[in-house]
Each structure stands twice: as structure tokens, then as C-alpha cells.
Structure 1
């Protein structure tokens, strides 16, 4: 219907077909009986990036898939490879059910090797499949995934352009191309649109099944102490039939060209392509996601996993922007998180000071709007650090509020890891604390946010509504159609599957 026209009127996907180049990921299905045999084979491949595990239906023999980084090809050549692969595997154009049956037959019988390719393209570099020109139809439509990150209902708009988060990416696949079981590491919801090509089969496990899923995967993989969910995030594919037999709820849907699929926070998802296909994906988040995202950020820090964006930065950007708008709903949601973040930050700064770290300096460019009433002059010179230098070398945490720098070796620590470093070395020599906001500024922002959140809550209970002046008439602009994100994510973050 209406939304299919977005693709039909989209020119970038067609005009840049001959110029679009990307690096392939080759997936090879091998008959390896154990992990050691797979590892020996992997040692001979320099481009090896990981291995993919598949269970057969009886769950008695493991199948290992090698994920290899392939060569850079154009979209036209990829289409030819996909077409030839399809001809080799099927006599005629198969349906989704036929591809699914053949896919799991290959996994279960293990009589042959199958190698297919898969590509992931950053649209910020190569262009989106959606129209982006100002004069093009649907270029400002709410369902255009280049517009969705700036939707007024998505708090991710405060992050700006972040590759793989607020910048959409293209997924280019062929028959049997597989996305293994995974969930977004930040527990972010996301939306996928299939521009063109064959159907895609999606399997999903609701977030409410995570405790049971952890036990089942731990048992199946014999993880020896490693949590099952952590194992599941390491390029592992388990047959839905096996999971259902173990009592796990697995949902299945077939995505066709011109259709959207929305994945809710914490949902485990896998996907199998039924032929050549080009889809586009981007993240979004409603205010109710903040608590889940804050806990996910803590978990990633404990596991020393690099995050694509800083949760500290997101919280402070939201607090700064929404305080001006006096958005009571969002301020109420983030007030408790902001206070917790403030308490942790101040406690760690104090502990470092007591440990003997007295050298400190301000760095970076902080928001002048953090304290609207603060008229103090700011220092003219700031110590600039590249974003790549703000990642803690120990836990990979993105440092935003503060960091500790070992100036001689140009090493960065977050405050928590700096405390451990000082405890181990019994010295603060060569260390310097760099901070973006001082204690007074942080406390002032927290007080401002909590005060406005409390005021809005009081007004709500008293039934009072502030009188707003009529909006000023400005120059007429082209209308932008927005999509209410409440239609994409329930108000209580229901852990449903894909819809």
C-alpha cells in the first residue's frame, strides 16, 4: 500500500547500485565434530572473525560455521553471486517454507558444505535506500528510517549521529545468509524495513524468557560456568525446534518486501534470508527504555564490552535539553538515574582524592546551556581529547563526565578502573584527573531536573495545568509527518516478539 511507495519512489538505492561497494562476510558450513577441530581450521584463515554454531534437530552433533571476512564487491556483483547461488541450490524460485526446510536439512544432515555471503553497509557513507532529497516524495515521512531517529518521541535524537545506532545501515543478503541469535547489547528496540528482494524469516524469543533461555543454552552448550546468554551472543544459532522442545517460546514471522519488522527491547532475534535482499535498520528508544538501558550499560561495563555510545552523555544531553522544554514526563523518568549517576561520580572522585590524586584539569567542550543562570566566565583554553582516547583501556567504558589520564603513556582510565590501578601500584604518580563538569555544575543540573520533575508531578496530582502563551507564527515550512513511537513500543516495554 502506501508505505511500499517509499521504496518505489526511492532513487538512491537505484542510482548508486554500480558505485556501492562493501566488504563481504563469508559463512562456511563445515562438518566439525568439536570446537578444537574448528579452531585448528580457523588458524589457517587470516581473515577469520568468529565461528557460528548450529545444532541439529537431535542436538547430538554440533555444526560449526566459519565467519570469514571477504573481499570488497559492488552491489551489482553481489547480486550476480546471489543469483548464481540460488540457481545452484534450487531448480526454481523457492518460497520461504522451501528455503527454511532446505536450510535446516543441510544443518541436520551435514553431508555438504555451503558458503554464502552477507554484507552490512553504513548509510552515512554510501547512502540510504530511502529518499533523502528535500524535493523527493516521502523524504520527510515519519516511516522513512533516515527521519525516524529525529522523531520527537525518540530520546536517541539527543545523541546526534552515531553509526549503527541513529544512522541506519543496510543489510544485504542472499539465500541462507544468517543473522545468529542475538539481542541488542544496549537492549535498544529497532525497526527493519525490507526494501527489495526475497522474503526474510525471523525467529524471536521474548525477553521474558531470558532466565529459562539462559539455563537451556547453558545446558546445551555445556558452558562450564559461562552464562548461557553470554554464550548465545557469540555467533551461535540453535534450531527453533530444539528450543521449543526445551519449553522456550519461539515466534516466527516472514517479512516480505515493503514490510517493517519492529524488535522490542531485550528480544532475542535471528534471521535467515530466502534469497537476494536489501533491508535497512535503525534504532529508536522511548523514555521508558532509560531504566533498561542504564542497567544494560552497567552490565557491559562489568563485562568489559565496548559500547557504541555513552549512557552518561545521553543522560546529560536529555537533562540539558528537556529542562529547557520543562518536559515533566521525561524529567521524571531520568531524575532517579541522574541522581544515581551523580552519586557514583562524586563518590569515585572523592575516593581518588583521598588516595592521593590531587592533579586535575577540565577537558573537552561542555554545554554552555548546562547552567542557564551561570554567568561565570569559562576558561578560554580547553584540553581537547579525541573521542577514541576517551575509552577506558581496561573496561572499554566511554568516559564522558571524567577520566584519569596517565600522561606519560597516553593511557585513559575510567574512575573505577583508576581506583584499582592506584590500589595495585600504591601510587598516583603520572596520573591526572580530567573532568568535563565540576561538582557544583553537576549538583545544579540534578537539582534543576529533580525540581522540575517534582513540580510537574505536583501539578498532575493537583489537576493544575500551566497556561501556555499562544505559539508565534513563523514562516510556513513543509510539513513533516511523524510516527508516534507508542505504536512501535508499548508504554511498559512489553517484551513481545517481532510484529
Structure 2
């Protein structure tokens, strides 16, 4: 019953120069950090964003967590809130903090800051596995909304901002900015994916926890602990994702009954030692106030809070992620799992804005688009051979997502789909032509967003933009040589 803590994940302490560009820095540390799935980043000591919010004005109703049920009887997770049922009472940040501190000091019979992190960790894993003990905790998880704004400075229009706030307003490490920066790929998605583009806020107390999960579309996530007691994390590298899933399938098969809808993802707490015994690599860290934790694509992570704290997190996607994003949508199709957005639609959206893209982004998007075009060409030839003759252009992006999902695999259609007049409004993707209805294929219609002839010039625009950089470098060199 002894808990053996996993090895520590890497910790980076960037210089001011390295810290200036978050995307360049994340790209630099990736070879190391993707091997552990999670890493910790300590900003330069004088990087200290102000925390503006009023502890007496912020109201929220936390959720309840019964620790002994986390492992035995797994709950249904709603959205990004790790969702358990609502607690009975409403708190302000201050009253929640008073409750949280009282709980921890009573539990350990010590002042909160005197409880060693190792003891809380050991006790957490003991409680989770002990059916007999019924310890209940509460926690708050809320999307950054009007009444419960970000912990980072934001432009509100109303108030005159302090010089200190101005300083952090446009920082790349201000989590409101990360998803909309030039080097971020989600910046170009116009669809309403607020769950992935807006930061989420988390108010923790001792033992409140988040279950093993990966991010939607296998995106990165970044978490900042504004203040309070540490958050303990466990991470598994992306290359071991399927290993972890196999261990979970073996030990908790009930988790893998197919889920009929997007929001209901069954999740569980599983002791890192159990995973380690099954040869899954696991790493841990204690994230302290003022520190960032970054999770890499398809890296499973879970954890718990050591005490009262306040954290903020957001998803982001870099150019490194693009091929994984495509692989993820294919994986979702095989699992019949809903998408948050159409990957292909995002690619085409970027191609249509090729002239204003970051050159490195343009080059990477071009490579992904080439794969998309080849796949689409092959699929269209296949459905033609099946006997689908009729075709018509369709602006898929004008349809709400729930009106353009494949009847069979639930994927969000964009490049193409098949329809039949016998089932108006229903669509299948080109992988599932046979699942639409019992009519013969000559009665079907191929709905396409672009002809292949439309797509090649779009890809060329990306190529031109990507090469504009090479051309510029060449011209600079020639100018220098002429001077010599």
C-alpha cells in the first residue's frame, strides 16, 4: 500500500531572451518534453503578472467529489469541467478559501503550510483506493466568462489599466493571447470553439482532482498557477497513449463502452504505480504558484491539488501539431467520436489567407494540405467506382456542425459528403457511403466543397507565401554582395 512517487518531469528556467517568444521556446524544449508528456516552466523571477480579481465579489458553485468513488465507480465528465454533480452551496473565492483551509488543517491536524506535499500525495492515493472512507471535497471549474474573468490582465474598455497591467496585456504567456497568436493554428478557426480558445479557470482545495485525459484534437495545453498551494501533476508521453489505454481497458473495461455523445467521456483516476507496474512511463511534478505546466499532444495527464489555489489553462496548437491533428481526426472516425472542429476546414481557411500567414505556418500547412488533397482524390475515385455519378457543390461551413456529421462515424464533414433524396438532411462521409440508405448508389449525390482544380491553386498560394521568405533572404544576400 506504499505509494512510490514517479520520477520528476523536466523543469525549464528560460532566460528573458528565451522567454520572449513562447512558441519558439516550446519548439526548442519539445525534443526533451515530448518524451515525458508534461514539463514545468519557471518564468524569469521578475515576470509577475498582477492578479486583479476581487475575492469577495467572485461567486461560484463548486462541484462535489467523493474520493472513494473516483477509482471504483467512475463518473461522467461533462465538457472541460471534469464535471461531477453540483454542490449545494454558493461560495465567494474568500469563503471557499476559508472552507478549504479549515478542511485541510482539520484533516491533518496541522497548519496547512506545514503538511508535507509527499504526505498529501500518499494520503490522496490511500483515500482513492479505500472504499470504506468517505471523504468528500469540492472544486470550482468555470470557463472564463464575463462575471468570472481571466486572472490575467485583459482589455476591458471600461477601466484605465495600471502600467503594471499594460506590461502583461500583450505577453505571449498571458493565456488569453496564446490561442490567437500568429504561430498558433487555432487562431484561424472562425467556428465557435470557445471551449478550446478561451481559458478555463480552476479553484482547487486539498484532494480535489482531475482524471486521466488527453486534450480534444490532441492539442497542447498550458496551465498557470496564479496563487495558492501547489498542484500535483502526473503525465505520460504521447508515444505511450495507447499503452495507457490498453492498461485502462484491461483493468476498467466499463470505461470503454462506446459513448453516444460528445460531452460524455468516461474518465477515471488510476494510481500512477498501477500504470508503472504495467510498464507505462509516468512522470510527476509539483506546480507551485507562478509556474507553468505544459502538456504535449496526446500526453495523458491527471493530478490533484495540495490545498486552496487558483489556476488558469488553455489549449493551443502549433505547426508541430498539424500532422497529429490530422491523425487525431482519423482516430476519432474509427472511434465514432465527435470532432470539436473540422481539421480540413481549418486548413482551407488558412490556405485562403495564405498571403498573411506566418511563413513557417504557410510551409507546414502546405505539407498537410498536400496529404489532404491526395486522400480526397483517392476517396472520390473510390465512390465514383461504387457508382455515385451525380455531384453538386455545397458550402459545408454554412451548416451548423450537428447538421454535417456523418450518420455513421459522426465526423464533421467539410471536403465532401454523400447525400440521398430519400433521406433529406442526412449525410455520410466518403468512408461510409454504404451506411446512408438502401437506395442504389446511382441515386446518391456527391456533395463537395471544392473541385480538385480549386484546391491546387490554393496550395500554390501557400507555396508562394512559404517561398517569399527564401526569396527575401536571397535578396538580402544579393544586396550585401553588391555593396561589397
Task: State if a TM-score over 0.5 links the two structures.
Answer: yes
Aligned to 1:370: none
Find the residue that maps to 2:317 and give its secondary structure: coil
Change (3 A) 1:424 1:277: farther
Change (3 A) 1:218 1:435: closer
Find the residue that maps to 1:171 and give its secondary structure: strand
Aligned to 2:14: none
Change (3 A) 1:195 1:112: same
Aligned to 2:154: 132
Find the residue that maps to 2:207 and give its secondary structure: coil
Aligned to 2:233: 202
- Deviation at 1:99? 1.4
In the alignment, the residues of structure 1 paired with residue 357 and residue 318 of structure 2 have an alpha-carbon distance, to the nearest angstrom, of 17
In the alignment, the residues of structure 2 paired with residue 355 and residue 297 of structure 1 have an alpha-carbon distance, to the nearest angstrom, of 27
- Deviation at 1:280? 0.6
In the alignment, the residues of structure 2 paired with residue 357 and residue 175 of structure 1 have an alpha-carbon distance, to the nearest angstrom, of 63
In the alignment, the residues of structure 2 paired with residue 352 and residue 26 of structure 1 have an alpha-carbon distance, to the nearest angstrom, of 51
8 Å CA contact retained: 2:417, 2:430: no
Residues 415-494 of structure 1 aligned to structure 2 (within 5 Å)? 415-416=429-430, 419-422=433-436, 424-426=438-440, 434-450=447-463, 465-467=474-476
Out of 261, 270, 276, the residue aligned to residue 244 of structure 1 is 276
Change (3 A) 1:33 1:83: closer
In the alignment, the residues of structure 2 paired with residue 304 and residue 420 of structure 1 have an alpha-carbon distance, to the nearest angstrom, of 16
- Deviation at 1:88? 4.4
Aligned to 1:26: 64
- Matching of residue 144 in structure 1 with residue 174 in structure 2: yes
In the alignment, the residues of structure 2 paired with residue 464 and residue 143 of structure 1 have an alpha-carbon distance, to the nearest angstrom, of 30
Aligned to 1:479: none
Aligned to 2:207: 176
- Deviation at 1:391? 3.1
Q: Given the two structures, how large is their TM-score scaled by the length of structure 2?
A: 0.72
- Matching of residue 157 in structure 1 with residue 187 in structure 2: yes
In the alignment, the residues of structure 2 paired with residue 260 and residue 32 of structure 1 have an alpha-carbon distance, to the nearest angstrom, of 26
In the alignment, the residues of structure 2 paired with residue 299 and residue 199 of structure 1 have an alpha-carbon distance, to the nearest angstrom, of 35
Name the stretch that deviates more: 436-445 or 252-261: 436-445
Aligned to 2:302: 270
- Deviation at 1:154? 2.1
- Deviation at 1:191? 0.9
8 Å CA contact retained: 1:49, 1:68: no
Find the residue that maps to 1:186 and give its secondary structure: helix
Aligned to 1:381: none
- Deviation at 1:217? 4.0
Aligned to 2:85: 68
In the alignment, the residues of structure 1 paired with residue 215 and residue 433 of structure 2 have an alpha-carbon distance, to the nearest angstrom, of 30
Aligned to 2:29: none
Out of 379, 400, 403, the residue aligned to residue 414 of structure 2 is 400
Out of 156, 166, 174, the residue aligned to residue 197 of structure 2 is 166
Aligned to 2:36: none
Question: As a proportion of its length, which structure holds more helix?
Answer: 2
- Deviation at 1:31? 7.0
Out of 144, 149, 161, the residue aligned to residue 123 of structure 1 is 144
- Deviation at 1:165? 1.9
Find the residue that maps to 1:253 and give its secondary structure: strand
8 Å CA contact retained: 2:423, 2:437: no
Aligned to 1:57: none
Change (3 A) 1:8 1:32: closer
Q: Given the two structures, how large is their TM-score scaled by the length of structure 1?
A: 0.70
Residues 308-347 of structure 1 aligned to structure 2 (within 5 Å)? 308-325=340-357, 327=359, 329-347=360-378
Q: Name the count of aligned residue pairs.
A: 414
Aligned to 1:286: 318
- Matching of residue 114 in structure 1 with residue 135 in structure 2: yes
- Deviation at 1:448? 3.6
Aligned to 1:43: none
Find the residue that maps to 2:281 and give its secondary structure: coil
Find the residue that maps to 1:164 and give its secondary structure: helix
- Deviation at 1:27? 2.0
In the alignment, the residues of structure 2 paired with residue 164 and residue 32 of structure 1 have an alpha-carbon distance, to the nearest angstrom, of 24
